Amino acid sequence: MIRYIERTKAYYRAQGFDQDYQWATNTQTPFSKPARPLKSARITLVTTAVVEPSIPKPIRAAKSYRFSDVPAHFDTTEVSWDKITTHTNDRESYFPLHALNKRVAAGDIGSLAPRFHFIPTEYSQRHTRDQDAPLIAQHCLEDAVDLAILIPL
């Protein structure tokens, strides 16, 4: 058995953090039922895969990009996951743009929004909740998005 929470606490202490990571909790589910059927819905993607690796990690911020500007390969080298048993060489496995376009063409999904969204991996729930999430929510409203598919790495 892997004691994930204990290992995470030890990892953060080794990184020099004074406080243990505080796991997010919600008293209410922060989701809602879609307002329209999928066949007429506008969809977007939200990812933590890095779009612009030239921007240093400490100053990265949530940002929206046009789907027409999706990179051929996102930078995922600094994002943590089990890199021994899986990889991100296949962009479609974590950013299913081709599959979504096929579903749009087949009439299963109404359309893709003009933009997708990047949220940097952040150890501050407050920053994510108070800055990144409201920005992405505003951009989704501007793009008339009905459903956002969140794909964190």
Residue 137 · residue 146 · CB < 8 Å: no
pLDDT of 9-68, one tens digit each? 888 788 888 887 777 777 877 677 888 999 999 999 999 888 998 888 888 889 999 999
Compare 32 and 140 and report the one with higher pLDDT: 140
Q: pLDDT exceeding 90 applies to what percent of the chain?
A: 46
pLDDT of 87-101, one tens digit each? 888 899 889 999 999
Residue 39 · residue 89 · CB < 8 Å: no
What's this model's pTM, rounded to 2 decimal places? 0.82
Q: Where are the chain's structural domains?
A: 29-151
What is the C-alpha separation between 121 and 81, in angstroms, rounded?
Answer: 12
HSE of 121, CA atoms in CB hemisphere, 13 A:
15
What is the C-alpha separation between 116 and 110, in angstroms, rounded?
Answer: 16
Q: Is pLDDT at 105 greater than 80 in this prediction?
A: yes
